[in-house]
Structure formats: structure tokens, C-alpha cells
């Protein structure tokens, strides 16, 4: 966290950043199309190392043929691969989708569970995906950590950790629970549009006054991916 700041000062600064981002991105949410908990989970799995646009090109037909976990559990993997090939890593994603579907059918009666402990036991579901499900489907607080969130929370001096789960814990300490999901979604948008990896646009950034710019312009101080961290998702 930023040097010489007390936890109270960090919370105050985080609150100001949260309010500023809320004005910039009032309707921030995951950029994927879905109608059910299963479809949200499946689309999020597909979004790994892919763009939201790429995922939304394949999900209409995928969900038409396999609308729920039971249908996916009984699917022909070759057909699933054919439907999702444009998202990349299609064989691995097919295994994750079908493995997740079987787990949900066998252990949860075909319904996506609404608890973190149960969600992370599903193949292909890490804490990032689980927090997406909790926040967007079940209305439960969940702080989503992707590559943009890792970068921005570090630059903002809110965490010194690089492991997604530790970042999640740090952010939960300084933000009220109701802000966890929207704040993380807004960081993702801000990371895509303004606080980009190679050259952040600090001169036009609405939160520049509350950002210590940790590591900016100092390559040696930029965070590296923790070996135990989950794969990042481009959305």
C-alpha cells in the first residue's frame, strides 16, 4: 500500500476513487451476454484469453444447442469444440465446460451453486469466475481480479500483492462489501481505456489526483504474475 498512509487514509482515498469511477462508468458490468447462471458461468469460462466480442459471437448457437448444464454434460465434445473454436484454446475450454456441467449435474442437481466454496470446486472455475457469478447472478459481494484489476490496484497503491486471492482480501479490507463487484468492474473498464499497461494516460485520468502511480515508468517495480495466480481473462 502507499507509503505513510494509515488504513483510514487508504479507505478514504479508495472511497474517492470509487465515487469518481462510478461517475465515469455508472453501469459497469461484465461484457458478456447470458440469461441464466449456467450461461454466465459458461461465457466466463470461454472468455479466458479471448475478447468479449469473440465470446458473444459463439454463445448464441452454443446456448441454443446446449442451454443448460444437463445438456452440456451430455454433449458431443467434438461438436462443442466446433462451436467454440473461434474463442481460442477450444479443446481445453471444451473440457472445462463439460467438466463443469457434469460436476453441477452430479453434485448440485443441475443448478449453479451460489456459494464460493462450492463454485471453486467446479472444473474451470477459479475465484475470478466465482466472483463474477456471485456478483452478477446472485447479488452477493465478490471482488473480481483480472489482469487489469491486478495492474490498477498496484498502481493505486491499494495492494503490494500480485496473487489474485491476496489482492481480493486487501481490497475487501478497504472497501464496503456493496462496492466490491461494481468497483472491480469499473477498474477493468478504466484499465482498458485509460490506465493501459504500456503507457497509462495519466494526463487525462479522472483519478490521477488520488493515484500514487506505483511502478509507472519504473519497469522494475511493475507487478509480475504470481505463479499460483489464475489465468487472466481478456474481456
**One domain for residues 42 and 132:** yes
**One domain for residues 111 and 167:** no
**One domain for residues 69 and 118:** yes
Nearest alpha carbon to residue 210 among 166, 146, 152: 152
CATH code for the domain in which residue 161 is found: 1.10.1670.10
- Provide the annotated active-site residues: 128, 146
Q: What is the pTM of this model?
A: 0.83
**One domain for residues 65 and 84:** yes
pLDDT per position in the chain (235 positions), as tens? 445 789 999 999 999 999 999 999 998 888 899 999 999 999 999 998 888 899 999 999 999 999 999 999 999 999 999 999 999 999 999 999 999 999 999 999 999 999 999 999 999 999 999 999 999 999 999 999 999 999 999 999 999 999 999 999 999 999 999 999 999 999 999 999 999 999 999 999 999 999 999 999 754 344 444 333 332 344 3
Last residue in a domain, options 136, 164, 180: 136
C-alpha–C-alpha distance, residues 23 and 6, integer Å: 26
Last residue in a domain, options 136, 157, 172: 136
pLDDT at position 26: 93
Asked whether residue 191 is domain-assigned, the answer is yes
C-alpha–C-alpha distance, residues 112 and 101, integer Å: 9
**One domain for residues 132 and 46:** yes
Residue 122 grid coordinates: 467446479
Asked whether residue 57 is domain-assigned, the answer is yes
Count of residues in the chain: 235
Q: How many domains does the chain have?
A: 2
Amino acid at each position: 500500500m502507499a507509503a505513510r498512509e494509515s488504513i483510514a487514509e487508504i479507505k478514504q482515498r479508495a472511497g474517492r476513487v470509487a465515487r469518481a469511477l462510478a461517475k465515469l462508468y455508472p453501469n459497469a458490468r461484465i461484457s458478456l451476454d447470458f440469461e441464466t447462471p449456467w450461461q454466465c458461468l459458461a461465457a466466463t469460462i470461454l472468455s479466458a484469453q479471448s475478447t468479449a466480442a469473440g465470446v458473444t459471437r459463439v454463445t448464441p448457437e452454443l446456448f441454443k444447442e446446449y442451454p443448460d448444464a444437463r445438456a452440456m454434460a451430455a454433449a458431443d465434445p467434438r461438436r462443442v469444440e466446433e462451436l467454440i473454436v473461434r474463442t481460442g484454446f477450444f479443446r481445453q475450454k471444451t473440457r472445462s465446460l463439460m467438466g463443469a456441467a457434469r460436476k453441477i449435474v452430479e453434485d448440485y442437481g443441475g443448478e449453479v451453486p451460489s456459494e464460493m466454496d462450492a463454485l471453486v470446486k467446479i472444473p474451470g472455475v477459479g475465484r475470478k469466475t466465482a466472483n463474477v457469478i456471485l456478483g452478477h447472478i446472485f447479488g452477493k459481494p465478490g471482488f473480481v481480479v483480472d489482469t487489469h484489476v491486478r495492474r490498477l490496484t498496484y498502481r493505486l497503491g491499494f495492494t503490494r500483492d500480485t496473487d489474485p486471492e491476496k489482492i481480493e482480501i486487501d481490497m475487501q479490507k478497504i472497501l464496503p462489501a456493496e462496492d466490491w463487484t461494481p468497483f472491480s468492474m469499473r477498474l477493468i473498464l478504466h484499465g482498458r481505456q485509460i490506465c493501459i499497461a504500456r503507457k497509462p494516460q495519466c494526463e487525462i485520468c479522472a483519478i490521477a489526483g488520488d493515484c500514487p502511480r506505483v511502478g509507472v515508468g519504473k519497469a522494475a517495480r511493475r507487478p509480475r504474475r504470481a505463479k499460483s495466480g489464475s489465468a487472466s481473462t481478456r474481456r
